[in-house]
Structure 1
Amino acid sequence: MGFFSGPGDDERESMKPRSELDDLQKAILEAAMPQEVEKVALDELTRLSKADTSSAEYTIGVNYLGYLKGLPWHSETVDNLDMRRAATILDDEHHGLDDVKERILEHLAVKILKLSRKPAILVVDDDKTARRNLAHVLGKEGYEVQLAAGGAEALALLSAKTFDVLVTDLKMDKVDGLQVVEKAVAVSPDIGVIMVTGYATPPAAVEAITRGAFHFLAKPLQLDLLRKTIKDLLLKKTANLGSRGPLLCFVGPPGTGKTSLQRSIAKSLGRKFIRISLAGVKDEAEIRGHRRSYVGALPGRIIQEINRAGSKNPVIMLDEIDKLDHEGRGNTAAALLEVLDHSQNHHFLDHYLDVPFDLSWVIFIATANSTANIPAPLLDRLEILSLPGYTEEEKEVIAVKHLVPREVDEAGLAGHPLEFTKEAIEKIIRDHTREAGLRNLQRQIAAICRKIARKVLADQNGVGGDYMVITPEKVDELLGPRKFYFDLAAVREQVGVVTGLAWTESGGQIMFLEATIMKGKENLLLTGSLGEVMKESAQAALSYIRSNAARFQVADDFFLGHDIHIHLPAGAIPKDGPSAGLAIALALLSLLTNRAARKDVALSGELTLSGRLLPVGGVREKVMAARRAGIKKVIFPSLNEPDLLELPPEIKRDLQIFCAATVEEIVEHVLR
């Protein structure tokens, strides 16, 4: 009857899981997994063959095996080792950032030299014929081969030179192969050792491998097996060579090119690029994966992305490493340490896979906006490369060469003669953006292009309106009135008002520090949304002047029966840091000596109670802000001289820079 299945239907139903498992077995064997991984996969397959196909356990197992067979265990991209090409790509895609690009090229150069070096092999055998035959065979493979007639000669060579592989006989007079292996491993722990002998007994093999041998081969040698063993050994060693070295971390404000630089590194090497955002990650399972016993378990983000890329040697960008959530489940920073540690990541154990996966082929590069929130153990493994903000001149060049062409094309205007004048770009930068990077500049240019695209469609005469040339007037018309105002140098000089320099995430800026005195109860009043550190700086400045009143020709009792009020305008903006201490002291001296402060001088420095000046940060941004504001002279502590010497000439143009170690050296430069 039609309501019941016949025997043929039952057979077909029973064949489905069997066929599925057969396909999985075939795929596992074709995937060329590492031997230990293949064993785990086949054991799991055997277990599934006995499981109920309708159970959740069966589905979980099939999905697991599907993931294992799909991982790129041996799939990789071939590195492009052309240094000139790498330099050209970096220069074409990034304007400025010369120090950062130079460090990246150094990083790549070390990797390229390590990866392109001809492997050196030391062959040790007291049989002259065997030595010569091995030298001939290995030399034809492109290896640099050196020979030793015995253990004593081998020990001398190992002390004088570094070798990648040691091929040594076991039984030799005076110094045998085991002693040679011990010496080789002691001198160079990374050396690969292959022991060859005519006495291939299990105890001898165990002892050789215990002493540090990678493989144990019996005589007479099978040359194909020897070639394969050396190749496998060097392959593993190459991964370690290519990945070792400092882990770079690009630190800088948003929009300064951290991501695009990493894309360029991947492009120059010919590797695939992967971006993994760590912002807000609070569960270590995001890194290490979930165990398969959990419903909906998946590998960690790193294994997932490598699987998606289909390559075991991509460039992985660990974005916003400073924004890891430290209050979640597990320790995400500790999980990252295992990923980034060269001594551990060649056997990275994802909880879902539960078998080791080699991450040593991957180039990891991190990014952060600040190092302040990066855990100390993680920070210790990173080499910090700072990406400072761009100057106005650099922004103009980047806008003309990169941003305008890109946004014109994005807006569908590639076939239209849209032109931005130099003055228009300057106006966008100064009046409609305030940032260290380029993100908002790109948005404003994109907004103008979109508005022009609409005008082009609305223009019944086709292309040809005067709106196709973007002038400063057109910028105001399209973007509206200016949104940002940068403080300029004071119009007139005043007593008690000094120009300081500040650093913010959007770059540097000048700030005015105002001081006044009135009758009162000897209080120091501080206003302007000041943080605790800045308040302490003001207290220290006042105490320094009170204790040195005679030196500055100030009345000893100036504070008696008076209050002093120090104010920093823009009270809605929080301000903190020690670098205002010097400016506060000069504002007080200006007030108490009734000498006006020069309007074209700006200063920054931390002041101690003894009058010494300590170095400050953000020197580049502060100098840029002073130049933009029309300041003629900037003053910094002497300890900041190295920072000032590193600044490019265009940033210091039209500026006089003065460095001092104490307050006394500065007074005549600031006060009339």
Structure 2
Amino acid sequence: MDNIYMKEMEDAGSNTLSLIADFEGSEEQMMDIEIEQAIPVLPLRNMVLFPGVFLPVAVGRASSLRLVKDAEQNQGYIAVACQKKAQTDQPKFEDLYETGCIAKIVRTLEMPDQTVTVILQGVRRMTLNSITEETPYLKGEVTLLNEVLLDKENEEDIALVETCKDLTIRYIRTADTMNPESAFGIKNINNQMFLINFICTNLPFPMEEKMQLLQIDSLRERANKLLRILNREVQLADIKASIQMRTREDIDQQQKEYFLQQQIKAIQNELGSNSQEEEIEELREKGEQKMWSDEVYEIFNKEVDKLERTNTQSPDFSIQMNYVQTMLSLPWNEFTKDNHNLPSAEKILNRDHYGLDKVKERILEHLAVLKLKQDMKSPIICLYGPPGVGKTSLGRSIADALKRKYIRMSLGGVHDESEIRGHRRTYIGAMPGRIVKSLIKAGSSNPVFILDEIDKLGSSNQGDPASALLEVLDPEQNSTFHDNYLDIDYDLSKVMFIATANNINAIPEPLLDRMELIEVSGYITEEKVEIARKHLLPKLLTNTGMKKGDVKLPKKTLEALVESYTRESGVRNLEKIIGKILRKVAVKFAAEDKIEPVEVKVEDLKELLGAPYFSRDKYQGNEYAGVVTGLAWTAVGGEILFVETSLSKSKDKGGKLTLTGNLGDVMKESAVLALEYIKTHATDINIDESVFENWNFHVHVPEGAIPKDGPSAGITMATSLASALTQRKIKPNLAMTGEITLRGRVLPVGGIKEKILAAKRAGIKDIILSEDNKKDIEEIQDIYIKGLTFHFVREIREVLDIALTDEQVKNPVQLTVEKEDKK
């Protein structure tokens, strides 16, 4: 095989430049040659020989070596033709360009590497007509072509040749691929034809353009085309040089870092390790183990390829690495197996929390459907109620019951949308949102996710996080949740979101609409006692270094703690009070250096805790007219409420109604309604209508420092007014609650369970309620209503018939005008 490559001018060496300098033969003598009918044909790869030009060629093919040897012995001419494809080993006629050059062998050199280099000189252009022989080497018939020479006296031709020379020298000095010393050889060539052909042969133009130049008969036209090519190449070289100059300063630092990095790599290779390549390979292996969709896997591979191309010293490397690691850390399609054992789940829920029947029922319903369907979207539940009732801790119990991972995210004070959706990767310090980070922490795509204090979300100029949660808490949208940092859709439909809130009025309506609301009401005294006995006391004993039985709190003691030392809906303060008692006992144990079981009785509480913090109202009897016991609901449970009415003689015509006790607008309206009803039905109740003209009415609800509002004291006020105006006693141990209308209807009210328990604690025996509240009584366990008698009414008249007795109080006030005149 010929080992022939395109040679630049400097590769011709000093021998070739010497031959060029010695060439003084005329063009006419070169044209006047004779050739045989068929001459040897030497095929060249990537080389085109022009007349008059010396060209060194490395010969390696056996047939070509034989040709060179015979031609050198015969001192004859050979035909030189260029191959159309350099990779052809045994070229035929159709593999060669037809236009070529007649040449003679000037010298043969044996090189140190055992190769043979032949210096050829082009003599005259020719056309290869055919190949007559193929062995031992190619022979063919040729036709000589004439050359139209330049006029040596013509100034235009002289200028044309000089321009080609100048541009060639400029190109050699500008191009990085040329040796600048080659310009010296060009400068010393004076023969016009030889200069043009020498440039055409040795400059690195495309092969097709060189063949076009060789096919031109006129040397002037060849020089013009060469000039256009040189102009193009010089302009390209100038542009490259300009770009290099502009970018040299920018890349100097990068080159320095690159070389240093390569040195580090080389050192690591010598030490037998390459941490970056190993780390990237490890990332790819982890990616293959992930249960990704084809789309996500394709994105991951692109990001890893980008990471591999990034210099480790570049700031972008750590950003890209963090993103890839985030993708790998997420639990794509990784789920924990749900516990479908309903009795076991119910047992866990009852173990951790007392009461909360509605919540437990909803969780068991979800488990039942999940067991039957095997696959379903998880519900979005919102537990709302007062503080301390166990909303947050209930989430952990639900996770335990379902055998799922547990995540809690506090939303109190969050005012940046990026906390939910994350930042875009274009920002410095970008990171995913808390939803994605929590899933990474959980390591599962179906955890129980607690969104704590969702009503405490804020908004600012960084966006509205409540609006960002709309996508998270919508079962129809969260299957394609889009985190700005991750920038890939992630499925949240299997996550069981449980939001907690104290006030649902503070939650935006669109967000509220997406959740299933479950009220977690405050605990009653009986429930608090059970919670303290079953949960709080064992936990606090462990926290104070004691064991079960070291300190006993009887049921009566716990009731006293709830009634006299706490006033709350939940059990947080109760836990603190019990903890305080145990610490007092612990001091005693530590001082005596021994532990003996202690039972804390009710009479011991004053010594341990001080005087009671609160006092519960007790039933005060029925000795006074106008004093009626009502029932009220508060955030900390039910209370009994006393409504008092007194009468005073009016100096002016027309009675006046005064209301005191820090009453709200609704309670004031109830009082006005009650008085108007009594006025309208005065005759039915045996009241002299003149009383309303001559007496003032004062309605008071004690404990005026505590704001009171709501419609549930309507029938209580009406009964209080009726009792004061008739001076009749109220039925003993009676309480009531209900709203009134101007027509005398009794309407239902809420908080029945808490009110009934408050009445029972106060010693009440009979309770008057609206007939529509009967369904609420049926839902209460029998243990809580044992010993109570309920009277369900529809009209205020029925209330008065039950509440007012025929017995008058001692020393009744004389209200009629006639009686006052006699007096």
TM-score class normalised by the smaller sequence: 0.7 to 0.9
Aligned-pair CA distance for 1:579: 1.4
Q: Distance in 2 between matches of 1:455 and 1:593?
A: 61
* 2:769 pairs with 1:636: yes
Aligned-pair CA distance for 1:49: 5.0
TM-score by length of 1: 0.74
Name the counterpart of 1:539: 672
Instruction: Provide Cα deviations, 1:501-557, integer angstroms capped at 9, x if missing partner.
Output: 111111110111122233266443222222222222222222232333333333334
Conservation of the 8 A alpha-carbon contact between 2:257 and 2:313: no
Name the counterpart of 1:200: none
The one-letter amino acid paired with 1:12 is I
1:116-265 map, 5 Å: 238=375, 241=376, 243-244=377-378, 246-265=379-398
Name the counterpart of 1:512: 642
Conservation of the 8 A alpha-carbon contact between 1:431 and 1:484: yes
The one-letter amino acid paired with 1:96 is G
Name the counterpart of 1:11: 263
* 2:583 pairs with 1:324: no
Question: Do the aligned partners of residues 293 and 595 (structure 1) sit closer, same or farther apart at CA in structure 2, a change above 3 Å counting?
Answer: farther
Residue 67 of structure 1 aligns to a residue whose secondary structure is helix
Name the counterpart of 2:629: 499
Conservation of the 8 A alpha-carbon contact between 1:86 and 1:105: yes
Aligned-pair CA distance for 1:355: 0.9
* 2:290 pairs with 1:290: no
Aligned-pair CA distance for 1:646: 0.8
Conservation of the 8 A alpha-carbon contact between 2:647 and 2:698: yes
The one-letter amino acid paired with 2:323 is Y
The one-letter amino acid paired with 1:593 is T
The one-letter amino acid paired with 1:355 is I
Aligned-pair CA distance for 1:57: 4.3
Aligned-pair CA distance for 1:459: 1.2
Question: Do the aligned partners of residues 500 and 19 (structure 1) sit closer, same or farther apart at CA in structure 2, a change above 3 Å counting?
Answer: same
Conservation of the 8 A alpha-carbon contact between 2:622 and 2:730: no
Residue 392 of structure 2 aligns to a residue whose secondary structure is helix
* 2:716 pairs with 1:586: no
Name the counterpart of 2:697: 564
The one-letter amino acid paired with 2:522 is G
Aligned-pair CA distance for 1:430: 2.0
Conservation of the 8 A alpha-carbon contact between 1:77 and 1:313: yes
* 2:294 pairs with 1:42: no
Aligned-pair CA distance for 1:53: 5.0
Q: Distance in 2 between matches of 1:545 and 1:474?
A: 51
Residue 343 of structure 1 aligns to a residue whose secondary structure is coil
* 2:565 pairs with 1:432: yes
Q: Distance in 2 between matches of 1:482 and 1:259?
A: 30
Aligned-pair CA distance for 1:609: 1.1
Residue 628 of structure 2 aligns to a residue whose secondary structure is strand
Aligned-pair CA distance for 1:475: 2.3
Question: Do the aligned partners of residues 62 and 6 (structure 1) sit closer, same or farther apart at CA in structure 2, a change above 3 Å counting?
Answer: closer
* 2:492 pairs with 1:359: yes
Residue 372 of structure 1 aligns to a residue whose secondary structure is helix
* 2:754 pairs with 1:621: yes
* 2:352 pairs with 1:72: no
* 2:601 pairs with 1:471: yes
* 2:525 pairs with 1:266: no
The one-letter amino acid paired with 1:38 is Y
Name the counterpart of 1:280: 413
Q: Distance in 1 between matches of 2:671 and 2:702?
A: 15
Unaligned ranges ≥5, structure 2: 1-255, 267-273, 806-823
Conservation of the 8 A alpha-carbon contact between 1:496 and 1:516: yes
Instruction: Provide Cα deviations, 1:354-376, integer angstroms capped at 9, x if missing partner.
Output: 21111111112223334433333
Residue 556 of structure 1 aligns to a residue whose secondary structure is coil
Name the counterpart of 2:373: 114
The one-letter amino acid paired with 1:77 is T
> Which segment is superposed worse, 574-583 or 411-420?
411-420
Name the counterpart of 2:352: 93
Q: Distance in 2 between matches of 1:637 and 1:508?
A: 18
Instruction: Provide Cα deviations, 1:580-625, integer angstroms capped at 9, x if missing partner.
Output: 2221122121222222333521111111111112211111111111
Conservation of the 8 A alpha-carbon contact between 1:391 and 1:651: no
Structure 1 residue corresponding to 2:554, chosen from 405, 414, 421: 421
Aligned-pair CA distance for 1:665: 0.7
Conservation of the 8 A alpha-carbon contact between 2:663 and 2:708: yes
Q: Distance in 2 between matches of 1:72 and 1:13?
A: 34
Q: Distance in 2 between matches of 1:551 and 1:388?
A: 42
Question: Do the aligned partners of residues 599 and 13 (structure 1) sit closer, same or farther apart at CA in structure 2, a change above 3 Å counting?
Answer: farther
Q: Distance in 2 between matches of 1:641 and 1:606?
A: 15
Aligned-pair CA distance for 1:449: 1.5
Q: Distance in 2 between matches of 1:542 and 1:317?
A: 50
Aligned-pair CA distance for 1:69: 1.4
Conservation of the 8 A alpha-carbon contact between 1:489 and 1:599: no
Instruction: Provide Cα deviations, 1:626-666, integer angstroms capped at 9, x if missing partner.
Output: 11111111111111111111111111111111111110110
The one-letter amino acid paired with 2:361 is E
The one-letter amino acid paired with 1:463 is I
Question: Do the aligned partners of residues 5 and 366 (structure 1) sit closer, same or farther apart at CA in structure 2, a change above 3 Å counting?
Answer: closer
Question: Do the aligned partners of residues 426 and 73 (structure 1) sit closer, same or farther apart at CA in structure 2, a change above 3 Å counting?
Answer: same
Q: Distance in 1 between matches of 2:342 and 2:712?
A: 42
Residue 642 of structure 2 aligns to a residue whose secondary structure is strand
Name the counterpart of 1:303: 436
The one-letter amino acid paired with 1:649 is D
* 2:711 pairs with 1:459: no
> Which segment is superposed worse, 336-345 or 637-646?
336-345
The one-letter amino acid paired with 1:568 is V
Give aligned-pair identity as a percent: 44
Name the counterpart of 2:28: none
Larger Rg: 2
Instruction: Provide Cα deviations, 1:245-272, integer angstroms capped at 9, x if missing partner.
Output: x533333333333333332221122111
Question: Do the aligned partners of residues 5 and 258 (structure 1) sit closer, same or farther apart at CA in structure 2, a change above 3 Å counting?
Answer: closer
Residue 105 of structure 1 aligns to a residue whose secondary structure is helix
Aligned-pair CA distance for 1:339: 1.4
Question: Do the aligned partners of residues 376 and 48 (structure 1) sit closer, same or farther apart at CA in structure 2, a change above 3 Å counting?
Answer: same
Conservation of the 8 A alpha-carbon contact between 2:715 and 2:799: no
Q: Distance in 2 between matches of 1:561 and 1:541?
A: 18
Structure 2 residue corresponding to 1:552, chosen from 676, 682, 685: 685
Residue 555 of structure 1 aligns to a residue whose secondary structure is coil
Q: Distance in 2 between matches of 1:538 and 1:6?
A: 88
The one-letter amino acid paired with 1:247 is I
Conservation of the 8 A alpha-carbon contact between 1:605 and 1:615: yes
What count of residue pairs does the alignment treat as equivalent?
540
Name the counterpart of 1:483: 613
The one-letter amino acid paired with 2:646 is T
Name the counterpart of 1:610: 743
Q: Distance in 1 between matches of 2:694 and 2:530?
A: 58
Conservation of the 8 A alpha-carbon contact between 1:251 and 1:384: yes
Conservation of the 8 A alpha-carbon contact between 1:520 and 1:563: no
Conservation of the 8 A alpha-carbon contact between 1:416 and 1:463: no
Conservation of the 8 A alpha-carbon contact between 2:345 and 2:401: yes
Higher relative contact order (Cα pairs below 8 Å, separated by 6+ residues): 1
Q: Distance in 1 between matches of 2:588 and 2:344?
A: 42
The one-letter amino acid paired with 2:586 is A
Name the counterpart of 1:411: 544
The one-letter amino acid paired with 2:483 is D
Conservation of the 8 A alpha-carbon contact between 1:490 and 1:599: no
